[in-house]
């Protein structure tokens, strides 16, 4: 896995975690990640939206439009059933990873 | 670092179809309103722009986009010309259709030429904006008035030629030169131009306005 691909995978995981908390606008996803991680993770606009759109295309997210009939409808992202399954499976993999890594870290 | 104006223009210039382009542009505005950070001001990198291009465009768009404008136009016209050529072959092969066109008289030629020209133009408009989803500025410049004028001209030609044919047949019967039964033959033969012109103009108008309706539903900024 290349550096970009690995960075992307991490960003995807963070986005899924943010949306596990509930449906959100794009900027709310970015705000949630930054605030919950005390500023450790930051997803700039350019990284965030292509990933959100890709996850939507892959069926992990669904889009709901606020003010559907307005000329400028707002997008709300929501996890689909398969998105929730994916998020839970990645969370469980992450816990295994942390456990295994903890055993390797010298005390 | 880009200014908000440059970022907004970057979204406008993205080669993605509506409504995705509009939604992304609203997302950018919202994002900048609530979460503007220095990291955001870089906008989309080349890789991110390509990713959005890959996500939102279909394979026909991607294929045509690789061609030069000249080859693209040739390819599109060939694709759209196929059903028209198929229809013409059907006309030539069917004796009934040949007879039907002949009976309509000389006016059938301009009706068929104008009708096919308008049909190909509207099918091209449909193909480009709905099938390929090319929502570039030039594709969204829609000339509805010329379609209406063309469709109306087609109808006027057809209805005029039919009315004239009926008048000539009726006149022949009234002046006593022709038997009454001939009037029915004249009536039948005169219907051709009206049938063809109304069918083709209806096709042209249906394709044009349904395509326009779809673009409006996708919130594409069409310019008439």
- In tens digits, chain A (107 residues) has pLDDT values of 566 778 888 999 999 999 999 999 999 999 999 999 998 998 888 889 999 999 999 999 999 988 877 888 889 999 999 999 999 999 999 999 999 999 898 86
Q: Which residue of B has its CA nearest to A42?
A: B39
Q: In this predicted structure, what is the pLDDT of residue A89?
A: 94
Q: Are A46 and A59 in contact (CB under 8 A)?
A: no
Mean pLDDT of all residues in B194-223: 94
**Alpha-carbon gap, residue B44 to A5, rounded angstroms:** 16
Q: Are A60 and A78 in contact (CB under 8 A)?
A: no
Quick check: pTM over 0.90? no
Residue the block writes with tokens 């880009």: B2
Using CB atoms and an 8 Å cut-off, which of residues 190-219 of chain B contact chain A? 219
Largest Cα separation within chain A, whole Å, is: 59
Residues 6+ apart with CB under 8 A from A105: none
Lowest mean pLDDT among B25-34, B38-47, B89-98, B185-194: B38-47
Q: Which of B200, B199, B180, B189 is nearest to B161 (CA)?
A: B189
Q: HSE (CB half, 13 Å, CA atoms) of B132?
A: 25
Q: Who has greater pLDDT, B40 or B95?
A: B95
Give yes or no for A94 touching B (CB within 8 A): no
The ipTM of this complex is 0.84
User: Does the beta-carbon distance from A4 to B24 stay under 8 Å?
Assistant: no
Tens-digit pLDDT profile for residues B102-134: 888 899 999 999 998 999 899 999 999 999 999
**Alpha-carbon gap, residue B78 to B81, rounded angstroms:** 5
What distance in Å separates residue B38's CA from the closest CA in chain A?
Answer: 9
Mean pLDDT of all residues in B36-58: 85
Q: How many Cβ atoms sit within 10 Å of the Cβ of residue B183?
A: 17
Q: In this predicted structure, what is the pLDDT of residue A100?
A: 93
Q: What are phi and psi of A62, to 5 degrees?
A: -120, 155
Spell out the SS3 assignment of chain A: CCHHHHHHHHHHHHHHHHHHCCCECHHHHHHHHHHHCCCCCCCCHHHHHHHHHHHHHCCCEEEEEECCCCCCCEEEEEECHHHHHHHHHHHHHHHHHHHHHHHHCCC
Q: Which residues of B touch A27 (CB under 8 A)?
A: 27, 30-31, 33-35
Mean pLDDT of all residues in B28-45: 78
Task: At A19, list the tokens.
Answer: 């949306």
Q: In this predicted structure, what is the pLDDT of residue A3?
A: 67
Residues 6+ apart with CB under 8 A from B104: B111, B161, B189, B192, B193, B196
Per-residue burial over B76-114, b if 16 or more Cβ lie within 10 Å, else e, is beeebeeeeeeeeeeeeeeeeeeebbebbeebbeebbeb
Question: In sequence order, what are the beta bridge partners of A63?
Answer: A77
Q: Which of B128, B203, B112 is nearest to B161 (CA)?
A: B112
Q: Which residues of A touch B23 (CB under 8 A)?
A: 63, 65, 73, 75
Largest Cα separation within chain B, whole Å, is: 93
DSSP B79-141: HHHHHHHHHHHHHHH-HHHHHHHHHH-TTHHHHHHHHHHHHHHHHHHHIIIIIS----TTTTB
């Amino acid at each position: 896995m290349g550096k970009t691909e690995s960075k992307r995978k991490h960003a995807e995981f963070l986005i899924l975690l943010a949306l596990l908390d509930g449906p959100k606008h794009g900027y709310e996803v970015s705000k949630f990640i930054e605030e919950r991680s005390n500023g450790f993770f930051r997803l700039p606009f350019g990284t965030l939206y292509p990933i959100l759109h890709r996850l939507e295309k892959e069926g992990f997210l669904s889009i709901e439009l606020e003010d559907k009939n307005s000329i400028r409808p707002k997008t709300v992202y929501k996890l689909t059933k398969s998105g929730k399954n994916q998020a839970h499976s990645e969370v469980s993999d992450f816990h295994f990873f942390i456990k295994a890594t903890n055993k390797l870290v010298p005390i | 670092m880009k200014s908000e104006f440059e970022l907004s223009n970057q979204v406008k210039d993205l080669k993605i179809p509506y409504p995705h382009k509009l939604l992304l542009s609203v997302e950018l505005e919202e994002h900048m309103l609530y979460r503007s950070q220095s990291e955001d001001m870089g906008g989309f990198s080349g890789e991110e722009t390509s990713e959005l291009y890959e996500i939102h465009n279909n394979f026909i768009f991607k294929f045509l986009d690789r061609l030069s404008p000249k080859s693209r136009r040739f390819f599109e016209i060939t694709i759209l010309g196929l059903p028209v050529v198929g229809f013409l072959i059907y006309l030539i092969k069917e004796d009934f259709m040949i007879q039907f066109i002949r009976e309509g008289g000389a006016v059938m030629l301009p009706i068929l030429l104008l009708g096919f020209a308008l049909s190909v133009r509207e099918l091209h408009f449909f193909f480009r904006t709905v099938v390929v989803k090319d929502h570039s500025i030039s594709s969204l410049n829609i000339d509805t008035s010329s379609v209406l004028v063309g469709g109306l001209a087609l109808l006027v030609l057809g209805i005029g030629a039919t009315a004239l044919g009926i008048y000539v047949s009726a006149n022949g019967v009234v002046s006593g030169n022709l038997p009454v039964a001939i009037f029915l033959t004249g009536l039948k033969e005169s219907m051709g131009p009206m049938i063809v012109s109304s069918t083709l103009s209806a096709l042209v108008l249906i394709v044009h306005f349904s395509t326009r309706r779809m673009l409006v539903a996708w919130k594409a900024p069409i310019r008439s």
